[in-house]
Amino acid sequence: MFSLLELNTYHLLYKEHQVERATRVTESVSRVGSAVFMAAFTTFAAGFSMTLSSLTSFREMGQFLMTISMLN
């Protein structure tokens, strides 16, 4: 079995890694967030431009692109 000192050490290491993980997640989202947003926005814009078409297949594909962009 583990001693109380070992459990306390593991707990402190776990908490330290959790703080480090949160910092890394925040940094990665701040770096990549704008690129992901712009990709979704341009996909939505392409879908919107396709909905203005008179062809049913293009209109439906545009609606699909807009739906996927909004749900993801």
Could you tell me the CA-to-CA distances from 11 to 1, 5, 18, 28, 61 in Å, in that order?
16, 10, 11, 26, 52
Reported as type and span, the H/E element at residue 41 is: helix 4-51
Give the C-alpha separation, 72 to 43, whole Å. 11
pLDDT digits (tens, 9 = 90+) for 39-55: 999 999 999 999 999 99
Instruction: Delimit the domains of the chain by residue range.
Output: 4-71
Tell me the pTM. 0.63
pLDDT digits (tens, 9 = 90+) for 2-38: 676 676 777 777 777 777 878 888 898 899 999 999 9
Closest-CA residue to 48 (of 32, 65, 33): 65
Sorted by sequence, the CB contacts under 8 Å of residue 22 that are 6+ apart come out as: none
